[in-house]
Structure 1
Amino acid sequence: MMLSLPFSLALGIIIVLAVLGLPMGLAMISGSIIYLLMRGQDMGIVAEQLLNGMYSNYIMLAVPLFILAAEIMNSGSLSERLLKWCDALVGRFRGGLAQVNVLQSIVFAGMSGSAVADAAGSGKMMQYMMTKDGKYTPSYAAALTAVTAVIGPIIPPSIPMVLYALISDASIGYLFLAGIVPGLLMAGVMMVQIAVTARMKNFPVEPPTPLRKIPRMTWEALPVLLMPAVLMVGIYGGITTPTEAAAIAALYALVVSVVIYRSVSAREFYASLLTSAKTTASIGMLIAGALVLNYVVTIENIPRSLSVLLVAWDLDPLTFLIAANILLLILGCLLEGTTILLVIVPILIPTAQALGIDMVHFGVVVVVNIMLGLITPPFGLLLFIMTRISGSNMRELVRDVFPFLLALLAALMLFTFVPETVLWLPRTFGYGG
């Protein structure tokens, strides 16, 4: 498959601009404009692609709304109450505080839809709790927080799955359902890993919370715990669309934080709006650049050419999935996850469809791969975030992340080779794929 000169030049420009520090979205738009100029295409196509892609797709609204919900929860006391409740349940076991980290990520996953939001939301608090009095090393606490944060976009709601639905036309509702079992299995793998390490390294045991206090703590944390249930009932009960559920999530977080817990001031709410707007603008620019570049890729007929080439190689679905896993894991070490999802994955989707691979199953495999990229050196974003939060050096952090990464890769192989682990729950709710 030969690439044309204009397309090769456009790719070179994108790479050079990105290396020089230009935001990836702007780099993609710039390279695409050069391509269209060399092809003699109308420049109005760029605006047309942006307007059609950004403003005519209802799904896109879910992204800023889930981001806002996460920011409001981080500003209030919701995370703190959640941590106390988790500590009351599993803190009494050896390595219990490490298990708390996993448990709070499972619950928090049902609220924000973003791994970065989960890490930033509970990262500082978990880091303090685990390293206080020298119970755990800073690097282990940071590594565990980074690893548990990847559960966030697997268990619904999930911003990456919303974006995948945008490019694949797969059902968001069934994608959300498909992520529940894999997310819980990943959490279970982490808990087993912690239990084994706790015995080997003699991790501390936290003072047990008296059983009589647990009902009261559960009552106090109930508004937080109900949020995932509200979202799931709304979506799968046919009451709301996923986008409307995202709006409800933001409103619910605001009402709980302001009215029930009274933990968010007007200034903090404004700061949440500002941070959400900045994050949304950053993601929006990436999506805009990807839309224009995807149009260029379509003109070059790359997806169809690649699909024909791979089919000609007589690849079976399993071999293709293995190759896709390897490609996405390698790219995850080098590129930002949203870029992979919006630029690389659309090229793979036609081949996956031609081979009869279920789009919901493929979506979960893709998102898990991208999330593992966040904790894979040398450019794992969560590694940099937790290095900054914990003050530990990257070498120690990677050393403590590595055993978890191996365990999660084994879980990824299970999801890849046994599609039923992903599709069982959607099929239970009527999915016909």
Structure 2
Amino acid sequence: MIWTLGAIPVTLLVIGTPIFVLLLTGAILTFVSFMTVSPVAIHQIMFGGLENYALLAIPFFIFAGELMGAAGIADRLIVWVLALIGRMPGSLGVATVGASTLIGAISGASVATVAAVGKSIYPGLIRDGYGQRFSSGLVSSSGAIDILIPPSIAMILYGASAEQSIPKLFAAGVLPGLLMASMMAAFVIVRALQMNIPRSGKFDLRLFLSTSWRAAPALFMPAFVLGIIYFGYSSPTEAGGFACLYAIIVGRYIYRSMSWQDVLDAAARSAMLTAQILVIVATAALFSWILTISGIPRALTEWLQALQLSQWGFLMAINIILLIVGCFLDPTSAILVLTPLLIPLVKTVGVDPIHFGIIMCTNVAIGMFTPPFGLNIFVARTVLGVPLETIYRGVLPFAVVQITALLIITYWPDLSLILTRAI
């Protein structure tokens, strides 16, 4: 069984096979070779993995993000952030971090943020003297903040897999996401001072008020979505539906920058991305079921107890494992495959599952831009036209910053949990 559940899937991963194919291949080979259950169970388990009401939120939030992207809000948000920070050192670099954070609060899709921010702000970074390496690394890594800022697709997937409250996960991600953004911005300011980057513009109250007025509909969206969840007016799934309606109204009737054809195109892109995610959900459910009935989670729990690791040591080991996994797997696959295995261990050592969800999301966020297979790196290469080796070198300092933030998030649980206590 070690071959069908371990060696064969790893081999398929190395040669570039899609994640759902390697999960399905390993599961079916195990089913046929070692199990006596009827093959009909394969279909039942896969479809059963999709029978989770929380998963309905995924297509809604993806569609809302696509709609807001089609409405062209990235430029408005970037202009607003620049007007806000005035003559701050490294203002354009800080604006990259700020705009990525704001767009993440609207779309929750890291790669979409890299594409949107990269197109809009990268030429200005080069013009101001940040250089290809620093600029491409900044754009690639800033998009990772989206995974921590609610509403987050990664948090929905974790909540569904770990059977945890999605509103609590959204609340738990706010302060860690802001911490990571603040540390990124501080690093950009220090590097800008070291590189003698000229300050761009100055704070102008009139300009700030005018850009705030133009950006207000976009800025209000995350407050609207999270507000109706936390005040009890809707579930996350229903809030996702309201977010889509809000995005259509903003793009079609307020900004007047989106046609009905754009809405249909956004729907088509959303359907494709949703299908890509849910096929992984279905195959991961089958793979996890086989791992569970094979006794692997129980064996891991017993092994952990035998090691007698402290909670501190356990969390450090898990972080190292997740960082390595994040270099090779996308967040969807990593969360769906590893959550069922790790949750029993987490409960054994007394770690709050909500806190652990934020730890896991932070790890897979860092994996989005770490070599060799970080998705944001390949998106940045396509959008920015920068060689891979340049981006690889550019992201390393930002990886150090975000790993430092990860350690703070890991060993300061109240940072994640303090807002959840009000729910």
TM class by shorter-chain length?
Answer: over 0.9
Residues 92-149 of structure 1 deviation map (CA, whole Å, 9 limit, x = unaligned):
3221111111111222121111211221232211223323x45432332221111111
CA distance in 2, matches of 1:402, 1:11: 30
Alignment of 1:134-145 (within 5 A): 135-145=129-139
CA distance in 2, matches of 1:100, 1:413: 25
Please, which of 68, 71, 76 is the counterpart of residue 73 of structure 1?
A: 68
The Cα shift of 1:22 comes to 3.4
SS in 2 for 1:378: coil
CA distance in 1, matches of 2:60, 2:124: 30
Moved more, 262-271 or 357-366: 262-271
SS in 1 for 2:147: coil
1:192 partner letter: A
SS in 1 for 2:146: coil
The Cα shift of 1:49 comes to 0.9
SS in 1 for 2:148: coil
1:40 alignment partner in structure 2: 36
1:200 aligns with 2:194: yes
1:50 aligns with 2:49: no
CA distance in 2, matches of 1:139, 1:97: 16
CA contact (8 A) 1:91 1:100 kept: no
2:385 alignment partner in structure 1: 391
Alignment of 1:312-391 (within 5 A): 312-391=306-385
Residues 219-255 of structure 1 deviation map (CA, whole Å, 9 limit, x = unaligned):
1111011001101111100111111111111221111
The Cα shift of 1:351 comes to 0.8
CA contact (8 A) 1:25 1:289 kept: yes
CA contact (8 A) 1:329 1:370 kept: yes
CA distance in 1, matches of 2:412, 2:96: 28
The Cα shift of 1:20 comes to 4.3
CA distance in 1, matches of 2:370, 2:247: 32
Moved more, 159-168 or 64-73: 64-73
1:193 partner letter: F
Residues 256-286 of structure 1 deviation map (CA, whole Å, 9 limit, x = unaligned):
0001111112222222111111111111111
Q: Which runs of 5+ in 2 are unaligned?
A: none
2:96 alignment partner in structure 1: 101
2:17 partner letter: L
SS in 2 for 1:150: helix
The Cα shift of 1:10 comes to 4.0
CA distance in 2, matches of 1:189, 1:308: 38
Residues 193-239 of structure 1 deviation map (CA, whole Å, 9 limit, x = unaligned):
01111111011221236322221221111101100110111110011
2:182 alignment partner in structure 1: 188
Alignment of 1:138-177 (within 5 A): 138-177=132-171
Residues 335-379 of structure 1 deviation map (CA, whole Å, 9 limit, x = unaligned):
222211111232111011111110011110011011101111111
1:214 aligns with 2:211: no
Please, which of 13, 18, 21 is the counterpart of residue 23 of structure 1?
A: 18
1:43 partner letter: P
Please, which of 39, 54, 57 is the counterpart of residue 59 of structure 1?
A: 54
Please, which of 6, 9, 17 is the counterpart of residue 4 of structure 2?
A: 9
1:3 alignment partner in structure 2: none
1:267 partner letter: Q
CA distance in 2, matches of 1:339, 1:259: 38
2:137 partner letter: A
Please, which of 89, 108, 115 is the counterpart of residue 113 of structure 1?
A: 108
CA distance in 1, matches of 2:43, 2:407: 41
Give the aligned length.
422
CA distance in 1, matches of 2:86, 2:276: 38
1:154 partner letter: L
The Cα shift of 1:402 comes to 1.7
CA distance in 2, matches of 1:213, 1:413: 39
The Cα shift of 1:91 comes to 4.4
2:122 partner letter: Q
2:24 partner letter: I
CA distance in 2, matches of 1:196, 1:136: 12
Q: Which runs of 5+ in 1 are unaligned?
A: 1-5
CA contact (8 A) 1:90 1:97 kept: no
SS in 2 for 1:152: helix
The Cα shift of 1:398 comes to 2.5
SS in 2 for 1:202: coil
SS in 1 for 2:258: coil
**Percent identity of paired positions between Structure 1 and Structure 2:** 36
CA distance in 2, matches of 1:173, 1:134: 41
Moved more, 343-352 or 114-123: 114-123
Moved more, 22-31 or 239-248: 22-31
RMSD between aligned residues: 1.5
CA distance in 2, matches of 1:414, 1:22: 35
The Cα shift of 1:418 comes to 1.4
CA distance in 1, matches of 2:237, 2:55: 8
Moved more, 31-40 or 176-185: 31-40
SS in 1 for 2:145: coil
TM-score, normalized by length of structure 1?
A: 0.94
Please, which of 250, 253, 257 is the counterpart of residue 256 of structure 1?
A: 250
Moved more, 154-163 or 93-102: 93-102
Moved more, 174-183 or 374-383: 374-383
CA distance in 1, matches of 2:388, 2:374: 11
CA distance in 2, matches of 1:90, 1:213: 12
The Cα shift of 1:307 comes to 0.6
